[in-house]
Structure 1
């Protein structure tokens, strides 16, 4: 690994220092009750918030696999129903003998592989890499508000340019609030076209279709707890052509929100029963799907406003 690139420890320290530096004023903090599901609780007009995300994808078919993603974000309310944001993305991958499928490993019982491990890497050796991935822009438009309407509806768009991949992602956001906003039901329909960048192999097209659903309930003042699920589909070409895998993830989430800051912790577990087909058969073993996925996915997020109401 290039020593000039940040390790996961440096990524975490950088994230914390950035958060401390930006925490220059206090106001009512926004809500982020789910780990991976976007809701329609947007920043009010003229308000700016900092949010930090750290995701760990851990454990594949064998050996060791740890993939960290850091996303440092600034959100701004252009109007009460339109929010824009910018992200700085970074990553750290440490994989060693994490595959067991003969289509990937040949005659060896295990090998090192999967995304973002490039195809040019020697599968008999460990793989470690870290760095600044790139940046993303985000726009969310709220068509109806779940606080005042039976169903809140919104549209989300995010382009990403990075070292390892470029991506265009769109979401349909759905949310309903019940019991005086104590119970939140939310769902996202996610469609994305991706361009993976592998040294020596050129750019590889992929696309994705996900259905995310979840519930979160305020069980005590300032505290929410709930569950969320991901129904994931990958394709080996743009525009959802040539499906290569499907998988299901489910797990709990916990959210705390005070006047000045909030945090969310969540865990998703990949259920057995995932399948691969077509060009993606080497990415499956033990009834689960791999490449950039793991048995366990952990998310930690925290945020605080940078302007006063």
Structure 2
């Protein structure tokens, strides 16, 4: 009888103060190594708000409803829909492509659009709760019909590979996670073909300051390598940049066109079956080639002043 009471007490304590399981997002971009238990579902709704282009006003909401399912305890499949909302008017004509899309000087672009969809697989190799550290691998496919920067019509197919790392300390109160992602994009717009290889590194550190409450800090760096090809002239628009290629018989990482680095605080609250995450990341460094829009050691054509992330998750 006493043993049963002790077991129940330990179970309750685990639910109240246990580690963030089932791939709870402690940060905005960085994700832990957890996969869903077999046969279980999780619904997520996220809104990543990108604000500021160093000229005029700019706001972009990247809204993603997502569903995940545990095929096995180690393999999770996920699918999400992309909803884009743009509202901007910039003043600098060199800030492309947003300046042209808004209709030039004095114009404004405001629209909510279906952006595309993404499907992904995540396989867990090692658990941060059972092994020295956690390690998972991910594969994904993404289809986009609108450009995230300006909302213009495009036809884009992307293939991604991600490595997830996680290390816990102090009885899982302190969590460190890192994601390394490679993305291979083929994007078509009127008169332009872009074959792009992009790299995304994100690192998050979070501490459970009280039962259910986590505070943290997150760093993210994103960069891409490409040279736009003009399908009408049959030439590259920027000859100074080497193009990326990723056909079966030819692979090359081209010139780095741009990069941006962000850092900022995060907060996570977890109940038994649902959780919330919020964070804000500021661009602290950016740059690129001579064709990129760089002012004040920051990149503005591909990046923004700051990103606000809001994520809700429900498990069932």
Shorter-chain TM-score: which interval?
Answer: 0.7 to 0.9
Distance 1:285 1:196, change over 3 A: farther
Task: State the partner residue of 2:73.
Answer: 80
Task: State the partner residue of 2:50.
Answer: 57
After superposition, what is the alpha-carbon deviation per residue over 1:121-167, rounded to whole angstroms, capped at 9, x for unaligned? 63322222321111110110011111111111111111111212322
Aligned length: 263
Superposition deviation, residue 52 in structure 1: 0.6
Alignment of 1:229-240 (within 5 A): 229-236=219-226, 237-238=243-244, 240=253
Matched, 1:138 2:120: yes
Structure 2 runs not aligned, ≥5 long: 1-20, 147-155, 227-242, 245-251
Q: Greater relative contact order (Cα 8 A, min sep 6): structure 1 or 2?
A: 1
- Paired with 1:300 and 1:59, the residues of 2 have a C-alpha distance of 18
Which stretch shifts more, 236-245 or 71-80?
A: 236-245
Task: State the partner residue of 2:240.
Answer: none
Which of the pair has more CA radius of gyration? 2
Distance 1:240 1:128, change over 3 A: farther
- 2:38 is matched with which residue: 45, 58, 71? 45
Matched, 1:225 2:208: no
TM-score by length of 2: 0.78
- Paired with 1:196 and 1:64, the residues of 2 have a C-alpha distance of 26
Alignment of 1:1-309 (within 5 A): 31-97=24-90, 99=92, 104-105=93-94, 113-114=96-97, 117=98, 122-124=103-105, 125-164=107-146, 165-198=156-189, 200-236=190-226, 237-238=243-244, 240-271=253-284, 273-278=285-290, 280-281=291-292, 283-306=293-316
Distance 1:197 1:122, change over 3 A: farther
C-alpha RMSD of matched pairs (Å): 1.9
Q: Structure 1 residue runs of 4+, over 4 Å off?
A: 118-121
After superposition, what is the alpha-carbon deviation per residue over 1:88-137, rounded to whole angstroms, capped at 9, x for unaligned? 111011121154xxxx53xxxxxx634xx486663322222321111110
- Paired with 2:203 and 2:267, the residues of 1 have a C-alpha distance of 15
Structure 1 runs not aligned, ≥5 long: 1-27, 106-111
Which stretch shifts more, 161-170 or 243-252?
A: 161-170
Distance 1:267 1:231, change over 3 A: same
Which stretch shifts more, 165-174 or 132-141?
A: 165-174
Task: State the partner residue of 1:9.
Answer: none
